[in-house]
Chain A
Amino acid sequence: MKPKSFVYVFVIITLLYVVLALGVPPDQATLDKYDLSSLQIRLLNLTVVIPVVLIWLTALYGFINLKKYALSIKESKEGKAFNLLSNGLMILALSLPLGSVISSISRYIATNNDAYLVSTTIIKNYSSLLFSLAAFVVIAIGARELIRTFNQKSQSAFRLPTSIVSALIVLSVIYTWLISTHSFNQGASNDAFYLPSWLVIFTLVIPYLIAWGAGMAATYFITVYNTRVKGAVYKKAFSDIARGIGTVVFISITLQLILTVTSQLNRLNLTPVLLIVYALLILYAIGFGFIARGAKKLKKIEEV
C-alpha cells in the first residue's frame, strides 16, 4: 500500500473511532459503576480520545517516515529489509485505530443485544491476535533480512541467545497461568473468550506466544545489526529506530498481557485504570517517535 493511500485509510478509520467513541450512547452498567451521567462519560471519553488519537498519529508519522526511507533505498542491499520492517510497523500502526473501532462496534452491538456477546467477543479476540501475529512476524522477517546484509554464512547470528529464550519461556508460563486462572467463566457475562479452554490454548495462547517470540527475535536481530553495522553516523541514526522498535514491541506485549487480566482491572477504581492506559500509550508514542526520528536521519543521508 502506498504511503498516501495508507494515510487516507488511517485517517478515515480514526475518524470512525472518534464518532463511535463520542456518538455511541454509554451503557447503563458503566454509568452506574462509576456514578456518572451520560454527558460526564462522554466528556471523560474525550479526555481519552484526544490523547489516544494524537498517539495514533505519532504511530502513523513513525511508519510514514520509515516507509519513505525504505522506498528511497529500495534498490540497495538493505532495501528489502527496511521495506519489511516498515510494512510490519504499518500493520502495528493500523491495528491501533482498527482494533479500537472493532472493539467499540463489538461493545455497542453486545450491549444492545446479548445474543451477539459471544460472537463479538470472539471476533475482537481473533482480530487482535491476527494484527499482532502479522505485524511481529513481518517485523521479524525484516530484522532477519537486515542481518543477512552482513553476508553472514554461519547460522550463529540467527540463533537467539539463552536470555531471550528464557524470557519467552517465563512469559509463556505467566500468560498461560493468567489465561487459565482468570478467564474461563464460560457462560458468565465476563468470560473473556466464550470458547473451550483447549481451543483458547491452541488458537489464541500459542499464536500469541509465537507473535511475542517473533517480536523478541526482531528486537534481538535489530540490536545485533545496530552493534555490527559500520559507520558512526549511520549507527547513531539507526539506533533510534532500534530503540523505537524495541519499545513498540515491548509495549504491545505488555498491553496484551494486561488485556488478559481485564477482569481484575474492572475491579479497580477508574483512576489507576486510566493511568495504566495513558502510561502505556505514551510509551507507544515515544517508541514510534524514535522510529520517525531515526528514519528521518537515515533519509537525510540519502538526500544530501
Chain B
Amino acid sequence: MIVHNKKLYNEAVKVSEEYLGPAGERFIRRQIQTHFNIEPENLKPQHIPELVDWVRLTFSMLTNDAQHVTSFSERLLQLAKSQHHSLKDNSLKLPSHETR
C-alpha cells in the first residue's frame, strides 16, 4: 500500500511539474502538508478529491488561464481513478491455489 501511495504522490508531482516546472513538487507538497497534515508520500486516493479542490483554488491564483486550472484538476482526479483501478486489479489477481 505504501508503494502505491508513493506512486500516487510521484504521479501527482509529475502532473504538477507539467504546469509549475521546478516549483511543481514544492507546490504539491505544500498543499498536501497544509491541508491534510500528512507526509506527502502518504497521499491516498481518497485525499485526491479534496486535494483537487485546494489545487483549483490556489492554482487559479497563479494563472488567468482557466483551461490550465481545469486540466490540472482533471489530471489529478484521473490519478485517483487509475489508482482505484490498479488496486482493484491487484486484489482480483488471487494466487492459483485460492478459491473464491
Contacts and interface: CB of A to CB of B under 8 A. Distances in A.
**4 nearest A-B residue pairs (beta carbon):** A231-B21, A234-B21, A304-B58, A230-B21
Contacts of A76: 22, 26
A77 interface: yes
Interface residues of A, number: 20
Interface residues of B, number: 17
A226 to B, nearest CB: 10
A114 interface: no
A302 interface: yes
6 contacts: A73-B23, A76-B22, A231-B24, A234-B21, A300-B61, A300-B62
B62 A233 contact: yes
Nearest to B21: A231
A236 B65 CA distance: 12
B68 interface: yes
Contact of B18 (A77, A231, A236, A238): A231
Given A300-B61, A301-B62, A304-B62, A233 B19 contact: yes
A286 B24 CA distance: 29
Interface in A232-256: 232-236, 238
Contacts of A77: 22
Interface string B57-93: 0110111010010000000000000000000000000
Contacts of A234: 19-24
Interface string B1-35: 00000000000000001111111101100000000
Interface residues of chain A: helix, strand, loop or mixed (majority): helix
Nearest to A232: B19
B24 to A, nearest CB: 6
Contacts of A304: 27, 58-59, 61-62
B26 A229 contact: no
Contact of B23 (A231, A232, A236): A231
Nearest to A75: B26
Given A76-B22, A230-B22, 11 more contacts: A78-B22, A229-B21, A231-B24, A233-B19, A233-B21, A233-B62, A234-B21, A234-B23, A300-B62, A301-B62, A304-B58
A232 to B, nearest CB: 6
A235 B62 CA distance: 12
Interface residues of chain B: helix, strand, loop or mixed (majority): helix
A302 B26 contact: yes
B31 to A, nearest CB: 9
Contact of A231 (B19, B58, B61, B65): B19
A71 B20 CA distance: 19
Nearest to B24: A231
B2 to A, nearest CB: 25
B17 A232 contact: no
Nearest to B63: A233
Given A231-B18, A233-B62, A301 B23 contact: yes
Interface string A293-304: 000011011101
Contacts of B27: 301, 304
Contacts of B22: 76-78, 149, 229-231, 234
Nearest to B27: A301
Contacts of B21: 229-231, 233-235, 238
Contacts of B59: 233, 304
Contacts of A233: 19-21, 59, 62-63, 65, 68
Nearest to B54: A304
Contacts of A230: 17-18, 21-22, 24
A194 to B, nearest CB: 50
